[in-house]
Structure 1
Amino acid sequence: MLEEEYQQRRTLPPHLRKAPPAEAPFAYRLRDAVPADLPAVREIYNYYVANSTVTFDEDAMTLREWKAKFAYLHKLGMPFLVAEAPSGQLLGYALVSPWKQKRAYRFTVENSIYLGPAASGKGLGRALLAELIDRSKAAGLKEIIAVVADQGAEASIALHEKFGFVEIGRMGRVGFKFDRWLGTVLLQKTLK
């Protein structure tokens, strides 16, 4: 008997093999961020500061900075959401902030969505963006701008395009991080 025939006969036919245990479904709930979420939000964001070019920040944000940002966005009535696992672990967050400080820009915001590394690739970014758009409309906002790095953020660009964001421009070589020049892609969506 040939070795390969022997190996084939050693394995059980497919209908007699046990199925691998089913993986638990990826579960989460979306809710408004609260001050107690800020340490986890900071950790998620600072992971990207230290390990990627999706943010041009080079210095980790402090808890004090996050508290100030939260208070400012709350005062303006801007949506700030978190995704929470059944265990209570924060999986990601999404927010909008004013695009520019001049009053004429008051109906235009820039969005930010960040996921914990273990939560990416599971549809959570899509859920957060959908909810962020709905809540931005409810808040009376009219335009959302996404400013995305032109390298290493292809999934973010694709996600925004699926939600109707349209590329409105590119800026090359406007950021310098990890010893290389980076640009940005600007996308915009009109809320109706």
Structure 2
Amino acid sequence: MLEEEYEQRRRLPRHLRPEATPENPFTYSMREARVTDLPDIREIYNYYVANSTVTFDEDAMTLPEWRDKFYYLGKHGMPFIVAESPAGQILGYALVAPWKQKRAFRFTVENSIYLGAASTGKGLGRQLLAELIARSKTAGLKEIIAVIADQGADASIKLHRDFGFEEIGRMGKVGFKFERWLGTVLMQKSLK
């Protein structure tokens, strides 16, 4: 399925969309992820696994896999944040993870940002990325890599470009999902 088709399928009819109005503003706070957030985080991520090419994962992540990832990132001091509605609903999340396992790469990370379907198009991804960059600097990290699908992810490429990420390369036909070959765009930002 093309990313554009995914976007169209995922959108609710205008009269059913939760619009931000003066009486109903789109408000949220950001905080460190907690282990109790993982079921919601898993739900958000697995939606993209099943319906898009923004992740090359083909199998839904389990709660034990998310717990392992959560504790691994915490052990390494990696930022992992959520955006939460005033009612306590997780609207989206952002994290960085080690780019490679070799010790020499310890100051280089790869970022991930995922939003719940009702939270897209409201600037939340931009706010999560800004906060993730700030927290990554505070954590002493030096380089952030974004690995973005080369088809249907123009908004993600633009978002990263807006934050000073530069394209450093492309890899073609490195993933196969939904019966088609996919490549990646690699972008990098220095945090010095």
Question: TM-score if structure 1 supplies the norm length?
Answer: 0.88
**1:188 paired residue number:** 188
Q: How does 1:123-162 map to 2 (within 5 A)?
A: 123-162=123-162
Q: Which runs of 5+ in 2 are unaligned?
A: 1-20
- 1:119-138 deviations in whole A, cap 9, x for unaligned? 00100000000000000000
Distance apart, 1:22 and its partner CA: 4.4
**1:100 paired residue number:** 100
Please say if 1:120 is aligned against 2:117: no
Moved over 3 A (4+): none
Distance 1:162 1:136 in 2: 17
Distance 2:110 2:121 in 1: 23
- 1:93-116 deviations in whole A, cap 9, x for unaligned? 000000000000000000000000
Please say if 1:91 is aligned against 2:98: no
**2:70 paired residue number:** 70
Q: Which runs of 5+ in 1 are unaligned?
A: 1-20
**2:51 paired residue number:** 51
Bigger radius of gyration among the two: 1
Distance 2:96 2:41 in 1: 14
Distance 2:170 2:85 in 1: 36
- 1:20-55 deviations in whole A, cap 9, x for unaligned? x74511100000000000000000000000000000
Identity of counterpart residues, as a percentage? 77
Distance 2:156 2:32 in 1: 22
- Partner AA of 2:43 in structure 1: E
What is the number of residues matched between the two proteins? 172
CA RMSD between the two structures: 0.8
- Partner AA of 2:184 in structure 1: T
Distance 1:63 1:157 in 2: 29
User: Is the partner of 1:41 in helix, strand or coil?
Assistant: helix
Distance 2:174 2:134 in 1: 31
Distance 2:119 2:130 in 1: 17
- Partner AA of 1:48 in structure 2: Y
Q: How does 1:170-185 map to 2 (within 5 A)?
A: 170-185=170-185
**1:18 paired residue number:** none
Question: TM-score if structure 2 supplies the norm length?
Answer: 0.88
User: Is the partner of 1:158 in helix, strand or coil?
Assistant: helix
User: Is the partner of 1:100 in helix, strand or coil?
Assistant: coil
- Partner AA of 2:110 in structure 1: E
- Partner AA of 2:174 in structure 1: V
